[in-house]
Chain A
Amino acid sequence: MLYKGIVLKIKQNYTIIMTDDQDYIKIKTKGNLIIGQKIIFIQDDILQKNNNRWRELSIMRKKMIAVAACLVLVLAMGGLYGLNTLHTNDVDISVASIITVDINPSIELSLNEENEVIATKALNEDAETLDLAVLIGEKAEDAVEKIVAMAKEAGFINVEDLEEDYVLVTTIPMDDSDEEKSQTLKELIKEKIEESDELQNVNVAIIKATKIQMLEAQGKKVPVGLWVVNGEIKVDGEYVSVREIFSNKERIEDFKDKGEVIEKKFEKKVGLIEKFIKKLEDEGIDASDLKTRLGQPDADIELLLTDVKVLWESCENTRNIEKNEEKTEETKERIREEGDNSEEKDKENAEALKEREREEVERAEELSEKTKEKAQEVKKAENKKVEEAKEGSAKENNGKINEEE
């Protein structure tokens, strides 16, 4: 196809032409061209368009962009000097949101727009013992997982015991009008829980808070997530721990009104039950009823956990009593031995010791009484429950299982 055009502008690498159907195109610069010359050319001569939107911009726009780019450069260079300490009380431009993680160690994570950790802060003494620097640069959900792992390693939580471990995560967007930020963060963490073995071993409680609430809570030296739920939480006027709050069923329900609890993964619970059944059996205690219940398809896991816990505790007590008895025996031995050597002093000592002895034996007896009672109670309750279960109260069980969201 032949093209006809008028030469508008000549440059070394191209020439601009206006065609006879008013298109503007660039062609190769050839020969001696002058502006206003009318020429014939072919497809080959046309220079392929650069998909560079830069040139579509008017001159003004380009200048504005250049100025803006310079400003950004200047700001960025100047801004580096202010990044030593990230004050969470000031509105720092680069912090888009903050997450606090409270287990027992309380840690504050500052996040950028992409929900990556840009700064960390230990909020209590226990947190100070952890190496928080490794969290910087991590995605929020990965950092939470790492914190749980570190807490486990340091011994702050023990996933192997029957005590429920709670990790409280509070999300605080820096922009009060941003409604989606907290939701997004929650989703990210929930997704992470799905794929993280570490997080499935604990109960994760998530709640959102505002900047103001964060400042208030800081003033009261209370984890901000709990502050949001309960306003003031004081037990004997002292700092309240997450564990204490979540050991109270009522409080947990209160929490669920405003936040979400993602419980330890089902399988983990079952695993724990199995483990402790085995332990009980090792101790010579009959846990066959528990085993039966566990085996049933509609087993009430929550209840089983509680029962196993009780049984185990009583078993522990019994063991303690035995230990105590052993100790008192040893003490008696020593006394007898020493008694042979010196007289008066020994007599005094012997008296004192005998007193202690008596006290210990009394206590031991008390304990063993209590334990025996408890064991009996448990057995009774067990039998009752087994009966009820047998009667096929499937409704009850289904209802309870549905609660596990």
Chain B
Amino acid sequence: MINTELDMLVNALLQEKDENKINQFINSYQPFVIKIISDIKKAYVNLDQDEEFSVGLSAFYEAIKRYDKDKGHFLSYAKLVIISRLNNYWQKENKNKHTYLEDSKETLQFVMINNEEDTLKNEIEAFEIELDKFGIDFECLVDQAPKHKDTRDTAIEIAKKTSEERDLLHHIFSKKRLPITKMSERFFISVKVIKRNKHFIIAVIIILVKKFTGLSEWTKIDKKGPKIDMRNVYYSEDEKEW
């Protein structure tokens, strides 16, 4: 069996015993570990479930330490080790389920986590409804959201600035669209840029002014927060007053 480059690299790592290099190596293989865990679970790895991920990573580390040529190709070997350790972990977890729930402190945490998810779920559902008033759906956002982070940041900036201008918000929530010309003049941004990202900008504005904190904290856009509270504002075409 011929050793691949990777196999040889792992061997070299072992011999050098340079912890930094090993850490770097592990970091670059994080996606690999996630994939294996996800494949076995046939589901995504939850962010909150650090445990699974940690178990996977330490298993990967173990595999590096134990690797030699007799064990075949490194990645296949690593996979076996990870799966084995994960199964151990899950078995332990199942056993521990009863104990877990009995602990009141941990129960509270558990419930809180659930609540958190619930809150977020509610926010998202409300978000979807607000977007629908503007004729936007999530699919539309997938296609229109700028793919470059920089462009997104610019759009977010535009949204932030707009959400601080009372008259612009008035226009947006009553007419269900952006006052592009005014925005362009006030913020010195070209009409083209605004038009191209209009759905995305509207989405950010909604998150900000309707105070969907779960979402805004997630994306850390709410560093300043808008000065105008529009949480409970509902608009009808006839009303000119808020």
The reply to whether A22 and B156 form a contact with Cβ atoms under 8 Å apart is yes
CB-CB under 8 A for A18 and B218, given A1-B31, A43-B31: yes
A126 to B152, CA, bound (A): 71
The reply to whether A39 and B44 form a contact with Cβ atoms under 8 Å apart is yes
Chain A contact residues, majority secondary structure: mixed
A56 to B144, CA, bound (A): 6
The reply to whether A55 and B142 form a contact with Cβ atoms under 8 Å apart is yes
The reply to whether B152 and A59 form a contact with Cβ atoms under 8 Å apart is no
The reply to whether B152 and A23 form a contact with Cβ atoms under 8 Å apart is yes
Using an 8 Å CB-CB cutoff, how does the interface string of B135-158 with A read, 1 for contact, 0 for none?
Answer: 111111111110101001000100
A4 to B142, CA, bound (A): 16
Pick out which of these stretches binds chain A: B75-83, B96-104, B119-127, B223-231.
B119-127
Interface residues of B in 36-70 (CB under 8 A from A): 38, 41-48, 53
Most buried by B among A21, A33, A40, A55: A40
The reply to whether A39 and B139 form a contact with Cβ atoms under 8 Å apart is no
- A219 on the B face (CB < 8 A): no
A34 to B152, CA, bound (A): 26
Using an 8 Å CB-CB cutoff, how does the interface string of A233-244 with B read, 1 for contact, 0 for none?
Answer: 000000000000
Contacts of A49 on B, CB cut-off 8 Å? 142-143
Contacts of B199 on A, CB cut-off 8 Å? 56, 58
The reply to whether B46 and A40 form a contact with Cβ atoms under 8 Å apart is yes
- Please pick, from B132, B149, B218, B221, the residue contacting A6 in the complex, using a CB distance under 8 A: B218
- Please pick, from B47, B136, B143, B156, the residue contacting A39 in the complex, using a CB distance under 8 A: B47
Contacts of A266 on B, CB cut-off 8 Å? none
Instruction: Count residues of A near B (Cβ-Cβ below 8 Å).
Output: 42
CB-CB under 8 A for A6 and B141, given A41-B34, A42-B31: no
- B35 on the A face (CB < 8 A): yes
The reply to whether B143 and A37 form a contact with Cβ atoms under 8 Å apart is no
CB-CB under 8 A for A33 and B44, given A6-B218, A20-B219: yes
Most buried by B among A33, A34, A35: A35
Contacts of A18 on B, CB cut-off 8 Å? 215, 218-219
Contacts of B127 on A, CB cut-off 8 Å? 8
A43 to B128, CA, bound (A): 26
The reply to whether B141 and A36 form a contact with Cβ atoms under 8 Å apart is no
Residue of B nearest to A23 (CB): B145
Contacts of A25 on B, CB cut-off 8 Å? 142
- B30 on the A face (CB < 8 A): yes
| Total A-B Cβ pairs within 8 A | 125
- A321 on the B face (CB < 8 A): no
Chain B proximity of A44: nearest CB distance (Å):
7
- B93 on the A face (CB < 8 A): no
Contacts of A40 on B, CB cut-off 8 Å? 34, 44-47, 53
The reply to whether B43 and A30 form a contact with Cβ atoms under 8 Å apart is yes
The reply to whether B121 and A36 form a contact with Cβ atoms under 8 Å apart is yes
Residue of A nearest to B204 (CB): A22
Chain B contact residues, majority secondary structure: helix
A377 to B52, CA, bound (A): 116
- A284 on the B face (CB < 8 A): no
The reply to whether B42 and A30 form a contact with Cβ atoms under 8 Å apart is yes
Chain A proximity of B208: nearest CB distance (Å):
12
Contacts of B34 on A, CB cut-off 8 Å? 2, 40-42
Contacts of B137 on A, CB cut-off 8 Å? 59
Interface residues of A in 35-87 (CB under 8 A from B): 35-45, 49, 52-53, 55-61
A19 to B141, CA, bound (A): 12
The reply to whether B221 and A37 form a contact with Cβ atoms under 8 Å apart is no
Residue of A nearest to B137 (CB): A59
A105 to B205, CA, bound (A): 71
Chain A proximity of B93: nearest CB distance (Å):
17
The reply to whether B140 and A56 form a contact with Cβ atoms under 8 Å apart is yes
- Please pick, from A6, A37, A52, A60, the residue contacting B215 in the complex, using a CB distance under 8 A: A6
A221 to B118, CA, bound (A): 85
Contacts of A36 on B, CB cut-off 8 Å? 117-121, 123-124, 214
A35 to B125, CA, bound (A): 8
Residue of B nearest to A59 (CB): B135
Most buried by B among A1, A26, A39, A61: A39
- A9 on the B face (CB < 8 A): yes
A116 to B41, CA, bound (A): 63
The reply to whether B147 and A55 form a contact with Cβ atoms under 8 Å apart is no
Contacts of A30 on B, CB cut-off 8 Å? 38, 42-44
A: residues with CB less than 8 A from B are 1-2, 4, 6, 8-9, 16, 18-26, 30-45, 49, 52-53, 55-61
Given contacts A16-B142, A40-B45, A58-B136, 16 further A-B contacts (CB under 8 A): A2-B31, A4-B47, A16-B139, A18-B218, A19-B219, A21-B149, A21-B219, A23-B147, A24-B145, A36-B117, A38-B47, A39-B44, A42-B34, A58-B134, A59-B132, A59-B137
B: residues with CB less than 8 A from A are 30-31, 34-35, 38, 41-48, 53, 117-121, 123-125, 127-128, 132, 134-145, 147, 149, 152, 156, 199, 204, 214-215, 218-221
Q: Can you give 19 contacting A-B residue pairs, CB < 8 Å? A: A1-B31, A2-B34, A6-B120, A6-B215, A21-B219, A22-B156, A22-B221, A26-B142, A33-B43, A35-B125, A36-B117, A36-B118, A36-B119, A38-B47, A39-B45, A40-B46, A58-B199, A59-B137, A59-B140
